[in-house]
Amino acid sequence: MSNKFEKFAATCGFFFKYFISFLFIFFTYNLFPQENIEFQATFNNEATKLNKNYSIRKYHFNIKKLKFYVSNISYYNRKNDEIFTDEKVYLVDLNNPKSLKIKSQINKKSQLYSFDLGLDSVINVSGSLGGALDPIEGMYWAWQSGYINFKIEWESNMCSNDNNQFIFHLGGYKKPYYNKRTVLVKKRHIHRLIFNLNKFLKKINCDRQMIMSPSLKGENISNLIVKSFEFKK
């Protein structure tokens, strides 16, 4: 008799423990909800897919690659008026849906402040680092050391010539071509960071369809990329 009771009590205790942990997790989750930041690329207001044909008036576009480094994601904590930075480096690749979502520090007290497109010079001169920074990712220039910060390749008939290919590999960590760009967000409740391809492509001209090393043209394209970002809740 007492044996049965003990078993019953033990089972109750067992479930009770789980119940408490559940409550704990539930409340902490609600107190400090961890929200993702999500990168997107859009074409005509829809999420862009690689290797899909899009058109704007008589021109067609087909994005082949879109891949870039994001670093120094910074958050502003309203409560104690402080900015803090995530030291991790992320490689965002449209070809890898998982890479588009980044676990953020956004919660009731803190909001997204800014992020960097590309990598700083220290990373660029630190040798082999592995992980997202492994040259196997195809984001490293071996012949002249340095990371590619932003890679976009597409095909389009937008120029009146036979060449449909556009290849922009943007990078550089030394003056005069220090290519890393900071994108300021500074708005509350922002989670979605959208690279608006319509905005970007509208400003591309046909004077150079290929950029494969640090250059003035590359710097201008990078400025255009920053301006093509939009922020949504």
Partner 1 sequence: MKVFLKLALFYGIINVFIEESLFNYPEYFPKTKYDFSKNNLSKTKIELGRMLFYDPILSIDSTISCESCHSPYNAFSHTDHRLSHGINDKIGKRNAPPLFNLAWKSSFMRDGAVNHLDMQSLVPITDSLEMGNSLDNLLYKLKKNQKYITMFYEAFGDSTINLDRVLKSISQFELTLISKNSKYDRFRLGEDHFSDQEIRGYELFKKNCSNCHKEPMFTNYKFENNFLDINQVLLDSGRFSITKNSDDFMSFEVPSLRNLSYTYPYMHDGRFSNLFEVLKHYSGPKFNSVSLTEKETIDIISFLLTLNDKEFILNPENKFPVNKLLK
Contact residues toward partner 1 (CB under 8 A) are: 124-130, 134-136, 140, 142-146
CB 134 to partner 1: min, Å: 5
Decide whether 46 or 134 has the Cβ nearer to partner 1: 134
Q: Which CA distances in Å does 152 have to 53, 95, 149, 202?
A: 16, 12, 10, 15
Identify whether the C-beta of residue 82 lies closer than 8 Å to the C-beta of residue 111: no
Give the C-alpha separation, 202 to 218, whole Å: 17
Residues in the chain, overall count: 233
Q: At 55, phi and psi to the nearest 5?
A: -135, 145
Decide whether 53 or 95 has the Cβ nearer to partner 1: 95
Q: Which residues contact 157 (CB under 8 A, 6 or more apart)?
A: 59, 60, 164
CB 147 to partner 1: min, Å: 10
Decide whether 65 or 192 has the Cβ nearer to partner 1: 65
CB 174 to partner 1: min, Å: 9
Identify whether the C-beta of residue 104 lies closer than 8 Å to the C-beta of residue 36: yes
Decide whether 56 or 212 has the Cβ nearer to partner 1: 212
CB 84 to partner 1: min, Å: 26
